[in-house]
Amino acid sequence: MNFHGPRPSYLYRPHPDGLQVSRNEAWRERNAWKFDYAFESIAKFNERIEACDQFNRSQRRLLIGLVNTAYDWLEELEEDH
């Protein structure tokens, strides 16, 4: 459930060269737990959003904000390292 939609900077960034690709893959392998944690958190937030009282807008807004923050964090992890 992505509330942001695609971001042009993410879609149109230049393709990295071979060295950068291998550095990024090595970084992702060392930090795979961060991705796992983010995906688990997003799944938990989505479950809590579905369980919310549909008339309690403030609680839903808070949880949607947490999901968006987690997506932003994942996008930062995807940047070149």
Question: pLDDT tens digit string along 18-49?
Answer: 777 888 788 888 888 888 888 888 888 888 88
Query: What does the alpha-carbon distance between residue 73 and residue 41 come to, in Å, rounded to a whole number?
Result: 11
SS3 content of the chain, % helix, strand, coil (to 5): 75, 0, 25
Q: For residues 1 and 60, which has the higher predicted lDDT (pLDDT)?
A: 60
Mean pLDDT for the chain? 76
Distances (CA, A) of 26 to 11, 32, 67: 22, 10, 27
pLDDT at 8 over 60: no
Burial class (CB in 10 A: 0-12, 13-18, 19+), 45: buried
